[in-house]
Amino acid sequence: MKNNTNKMITSRDVDFAQWYTDICKVADLVDYSSVKGSMIIRPYGYAIWENIVAILDKKFKETGHVNVQMPMFIPESLLNVEKNHVAGFAPEGAWVTHGGSEELEERMIVRPTSEVLFCEHYKKIIKSYRDLPLLYNQWCTIVRWEKETRPFLRSREILWQEGHTMHATKEEAMEETLRMLNVYRDVQENYLALPVITGKKTEKEKFAGAEATYTLEAMMYDGIALQNGTSHYFGQGFAKAFGIQFLNKENKLETPYQTSWGVTTRMIGAIIMTHGDDHGLVLPPQIAPVKVCIIPIGEVNESVDKITNELKNNDITFIVDDTDKSPGFKFAEAEVKGYPIRIEVGKRDLEKGFVTLVRRDTLEKIKVNIDDVLDKVQELLVDIQNNMFNRARARRDSMIYNADNYDEFKNIAASKPGFIIGKWCGDVACENKIKEDTTFKSRCLIDEEVSGKCVCCGKEARYVLYWGKQY
């Protein structure tokens, strides 16, 4: 893997937004092009995505899902079938109006999401209860014509997966909605080392066309929330709009219940903004394309070969940086790239019987006998993964505050980055007021049917929520 020079990274405590952009560029994750609002995902960034895709795809298949591929265009009339849905997506569509030199009879939107395409197909293939559940997933690119874009976080083109399932009963559909939310939580916590809060969105914040939207909310280093995936329960809304019906066991026509769920390349943004530091990217071992970077100092081929053979035999990915750059430069570069472990193999160290392992999460240096390298690497990879998760969770938890009244709420919102736990009456007017006054939006419900007072209006509360600023 070729690296560019180790350019300047703005400190994350000085300018977090600039720090983020610097990391994306300097770690060779993305580049820009003349296609405004879209990004090029470079090999190192794409390799992270490939690793995430492999983990998710395996879990989708283990839970009975199969992959399909729908068209990337949606005729306007098809998008119009479900009214809430079209209202949510048409205003941010990329519209194809010409094929070759001819104007199309009907313009088409480049898919912003594919509910209507799946529904049209489901209407054809669902006939009986025997056809249910239908557990489909699609890996593809979607387009949303965002005005302001940032790599991974908000881009006109987004790589994602979208699950779309149909069920005979409401219970099964709700079970699926929560099952996939938990698959996402498992992957984000145990592989991406991202602690997430999961819960239901308010009516105002739910997906256009859904009955209920469940979300995974991660907190970034700067205390701002990143919605890192959603799982929707649709009820029968789309199914009725599309006239999808099936014959049940009693040979009577029924309307099925639907879900959809998706995560995107945005997760890479969350990894950067949760784990990265002023030295660069910090990647969780489970999804790092390169787990170990070996830096030879002097004539140490034999020892490097010994180490690389051991790593190879144990399926631990690695690179050897044997370029003519200085060791110091190589160390910095390994840190920029966020390789979980670097191994400095020096001639003089070897004479004393050791090599130096540096773990990226803490930058701790560990002297290890050459014969113990493999064991130590395996131990560290597990330890780094756990430490990254625990550290992120502890940091997040330290930035969650309780507010009992509006003064407290506004005070915390103005002075402390993070989430606020606050009760709410359920009136969208309060939700809107809080947003207007503090820029905090409802993240998700913690609990329903609670007692106490709404943090905004002081009337009887019905819910407890997380509130926070959002990316």
Site string for a copy of itself, 22-41 (x = CB under 8 A): ---------x-xxx--xxxx
Among 24, 47, 225, 268, binds a copy of itself (CB under 8 A): 47
Give Dmax (Cα) for the chain: 82
Question: Which residue from 11, 15, 17, 67 is in contact with a copy of itself, where contact means CB under 8 A?
Answer: 67
Amino acid at 374: L
For 339, list phi and psi in degrees, rounded to 5: -60, 130
Record the tokens describing residue 196, joined without a space.
């997430």
The neighbour count for residue 243, using CB atoms within 10 Å, is 10
Core vs surface per residue 83-98: b (16+ CB within 10 A) or e: eebbebbeeebbeeee
Strand partners, 295: 344
Which of 54/382 has CB closer to a copy of itself? 54
Q: Tell me how far, at minimum, the Cβ of 237 lies from a copy of itself, in Å.
A: 20
**42 part of the interface to a copy of itself, by CB under 8 A:** yes
Give the integer Cα–Cα distance in Å for 73 and 329: 47
Regarding 46 and contact with a copy of itself (CB under 8 A), the answer is yes
Q: For a copy of itself, which is the closer residue by CB, 50 or 375?
A: 50
Annotate each residue in 68-87 with x if it binds a copy of itself (CB under 8 A) or - if it does not, as one string.
xxxxxxxx-xx---------
Element (H, E) at 383: helix 373-397
Which string of x and - marks every residue 103-142 that binds a copy of itself (by CB under 8 A)? ----xx-x------x--xx--xx----xx----x---xx-
What sign results for the dihedral spanned by CA atoms 19, 24, 27, 33?
negative
Q: Is 94 in the site for a copy of itself (CB under 8 A)?
A: yes
Shortest CB 471 distance to a copy of itself, Å: 21
Closer to a copy of itself by Cβ: residue 21 or 386: 21
234 binds a copy of itself (CB under 8 A): no
The CA distance from 357 to 343, in Å, is 5
Alpha helix stretches (DSSP H) within 416-464: 428-438
Q: Which residues bind a copy of itself (CB under 8 A)?
A: 1-2, 4, 31, 33-35, 38-43, 46-47, 49-50, 66-75, 77-78, 91-101, 107-108, 110, 117, 120-121, 124-125, 130-131, 136, 140-141, 143, 145, 156-157, 159
